[in-house]
Structure 1
């Protein structure tokens, strides 16, 4: 199969693909502290896996290319803990807009942002909206946990901790499945202070507190119940959901184009 990664294609191949109506999928991630036991590249490792696996499945039905994963995001709320690279929110917004403008200049008329870090989420949606206002193109944006939320609830993913949480049971299980050698198992905390206000609002609402936006000591829950088997189940559930979302989204764009 021809590679779906944009960085493995030539300029002519990309231009031809874009002119033919193919979509660009832009994965967004982060490099930030993930508690005492996970590597700072956790979000990027997970996001890249989801983008690759879901993209390959979706590409059996719809035309798409995957842009390079953006491994640094808006992680200002992690800087106090060290081990974090971040763009300020206004800088990140401008960067995403510039990436979108680049894709438009390349000829793409369908752009989808796929996110793997919570701090990127509102800025990503604003970017997608701004691009669709400025150009005669289709855009879409979603974080993988939003796309797969219902499916993850149906398999009881929250029994290991918050979903997706931060550096808790959910992300630790995923990393045990993907890169177990990077998980410091001897540093996984057995307990964690519970903050009932976290995720206390309805979907789409925001609530936060200075220095506790990602939970006490920079992580949301203890990961003592995480296992590689659970991680494999969660990742397969996410990949399946994201692949289906990509297909539905691009088919909706195509249908919308025909009805114009």
Structure 2
């Protein structure tokens, strides 16, 4: 079968019934709708959705039937409640939504599921939901946190020093990937100047909600506009580029295809 449709939303009801009988892999992209800096679209879920389609298409070339579920655009609330227009779910609401999504698929025997996560505030919630389903049904649903994996690839692509300087919220890897995948939505003329050594509450900022007390990292209950500058964390977005984004995207798609293949193999073995 030559796969021509990759989004579940594009399938007719009869096509969906036929696909389910073939036990395809389903990708569930999750993202957020928040401040990503003055230069990036607030809908970072768009990038998770595009990445999911690329992984599905590349997997199909390798002989696997893969579909992308409708993207969940709202992430779990964490540091970004200050952003006008931003929309986030409470962690308990998001947990209930993800569980309902997964159980809707599991009900019909769709067990080859992969979560493509695009928001750090989703991580704990995803673990809690998938762990509970594993304990109940012995179905493993892996979560591929796209931007954390991309950050791991960054040093080999741009070098360790540049990766350290450019890595962070509002900078790499998301800005570079956005420049590559959604160039019409990125406002490069609004990339802010890098503001290093920001201090809050008398201490140097280490990251969102984290301050440096003489080398010890201390968590503080502050929203992102206190510990970031215009939505940009510790990284310098001026060091981001579409070229870097293209290489990161390629690596992420390769990883996604390998994960699809692994899920299929493990499902066929029906063993841990």
Instruction: Indicate the TM-score class for this superposition, using the shorter chain for normalisation.
Output: 0.7 to 0.9
Equivalent in the alignment of 2:11: 9
Larger Rg: 2
* Correspondent of 2:249 among 235, 249, 252: 235
Task: Please name the residue that 1:143 is paired with.
Answer: 145
Change (3 A) 1:132 1:19: farther
2:48 counterpart of 1:47: yes
SS in 1 for 2:206: coil
Q: Residue by residue, what CA displacement relative to the aligned partner does 1:142-163 show, whole Å, maximum 9, x if unpaired?
A: 2113445544332236625578
- Inter-CA distance 35–157: structure 2 relative to 1 (3 Å threshold): farther
Q: TM-score, normalised by structure 2?
A: 0.81
Q: Deviations over 1:80-113 (max 9, x none)?
A: 1323110000000000001011112233122211
Q: Deviations over 1:17-51 (max 9, x none)?
A: 3233222211111111112221111x212111211
Q: Give the TM-score of the pair, scaled to structure 1.
A: 0.84
Aligned alpha-carbon RMSD (Å): 2.7
More off after superposition, 230-239 vs 26-35: 230-239
For residue 29 of structure 1, the aligned residue among 12, 28, 31 is 31
CA distance in 2, matches of 1:147, 1:223: 18
Partner SS state of residue 142, structure 2: strand
State the match for 1:203 in structure 2.
Answer: none
- For structure 1, the residue ranges without an aligned partner over 5 or more in a row are 201-205
- 3-state SS of the aligned residue for 2:26? strand
Of 228, 246, 249, the match for 1:216? 228
1:129 CA drift (Å): 1.6
- Residue among 246, 259, 267 paired with 1:245: 259
Q: Is structure 2 residue 189 aligned with structure 1 residue 175? A: no
